[in-house]
Structure 1
Amino acid sequence: MSLPRSNYDPRRVCLNPFPNVNLGKHRRTVGIYLAGALFALANWTFLDAAILSAHAHPPYDEPQIPPPVHVTFVDWIPGICSLLGMLVVNMIDKDRIRGDEGFGDSRAVWRARLFLFIGFALMAGGLAGSVTVLVLKYILGGYTEQYTYYGYANVSQNVAMMLSAVFLWIAQSASSEYDYNLTL
């Protein structure tokens, strides 16, 4: 063991501790606003690419040549999967996953954890799908940077949506300024 015995805690999972960020009494509000901003940025980025694709014009010197590629429904599927995953993850009661509140039914905790896994799997599948669309449709297609932006926007949408889900999960798990600790 590389840690001195005085610093060792048997409940510790990671070798390096996570940083302790203190945002004061408004940490929950900051987390929720940050998650909302990331969600808006994610969808704005992809909608920007979709609108650019819909209004793409042929070059002015060759008006008979149409734009080579457009954003189609295939490009929308990864974002839809990430959105569904985000909804599933953030609808779960956090106390059920921990097994708190004396639910009495051990199957309820198992079902909540399965539901959480399905939500994260949907988000991971959305991210993997967006990378696949980027590589197969835009990069291997040999399009210019103007058209590969559509694929990069799709990937950035899914990354930002996953980060938004994580920030919202952490913010909802934090105690608000109205929670009181009444232990004796």
Structure 2
Amino acid sequence: MSLPRSSYDPRRVCLNPFPEFTLGRHRRTIGVYLAGALFALANWTFLDAAILSAHAKKPLDPPPPVHVTFVDWVPGICSLLGFFVIVLIDKDRVRGEEGLGDSRAVWRARLFLFVGFALMAGGLAGSITVLILKYILEEYPEQFTYYGYANVSQNVALMLSAVVLWIATSSASEYEYNLTL
């Protein structure tokens, strides 16, 4: 099945277009607040697991309790660094717009964007690895595997927060005017 020739656009990447969401004038503000909520939820989830781990009592029966250690913190730190790298990049420089002129600056901005997403992907992969190797393979009770699930959910929420914030800040502000003749 192919598209009719009249509706075919050679610049089109996807067969089905993405749905258009109309959130009105305040779409940028809504996106920024949503990204902030995801960021807060991500870090709150992992800190909740770390606090629960610190107050875990040793049960009378084996296995002994597992605690959140530095190994559990490393994936979140990588994702947090990647988040800050992505957020701090100038979006116009990545696109090469507004007469920035220097092609090396555009290349460096895209390289830093790649490094930011690589840090976030590495953090997610590390958290999944910690979950599997430390919590699932050892077959701890559900109260201890929560620490690993919290680590993975922190990294996923940080990635979603970065994507939502990138999209929200890339859209035109409600205070910007586009005057073209």
Describe the SS at the equivalent of 1:17.
coil
Distance 1:122 1:15 in 2: 31
Match of 2:20 in 1: 20
User: CA offsets per residue over residues 95-136 of structure 1, 9 Å max, x none?
Assistant: 111111112211111111000000000000000000000000
Cα distance in 1 between the residues matched to 2:154 and 2:22? 28
Deviations 1:56-83 (A, max 9, x none): 0123xx29x7843100010000000000
Does 1:69 find its partner at 2:66? yes
Q: How far 1:88 sits from its partner (Å)? A: 0.3
Match of 2:155 in 1: 158
Query: What is the percent sequence identity of the aligned residues?
Result: 81
**Whole-Å Cα distance in 1 between the matches of residues 27 and 13 of structure 2?**
24
**Residue 57 of structure 1 contacts residue 66 of structure 1 at CA under 8 Å; is this kept in 2?**
no
Counterpart AA for 1:2:
S
Aligned residue identity for 1:98: R
Alignment match, 2:75: 78
Pair 1:178 & 2:180 matched:
no
Say if 1:130 and 1:154, in contact at 8 Å, map to a contact too.
yes
Task: Give structure 1 stretches of 5+ with no counterpart.
Answer: none
Which residue number in structure 1 is paired with residue 123 of structure 2? 126
Q: Contact 2:63–2:140 (CA<8 Å) still a contact in 1?
A: no
Moved over 6 A (4+): none
TM-score by length of 1: 0.95
TM-score, with structure 2 as normaliser: 0.96
Task: Tell me which moved more, 101-110 or 80-89.
Answer: 101-110
What is the aligned partner in structure 2 of residue 106 from structure 1? 103
Please, which runs of 5 or more residues in structure 2 have no aligned partner? Answer: none
Which deviates the most, 92-101 or 154-163?
A: 92-101
Q: In structure 2, the residue corresponding to 1:176 is in which secondary structure?
A: coil
Give the secondary structure class of the aligned counterpart of 2:56: coil
CA shift, 1:86, in A, is 0.5
Number of matched residues? 181
- Report the Cα offset of residue 39 of structure 1: 0.4
- Show the counterpart of 2:135: 138
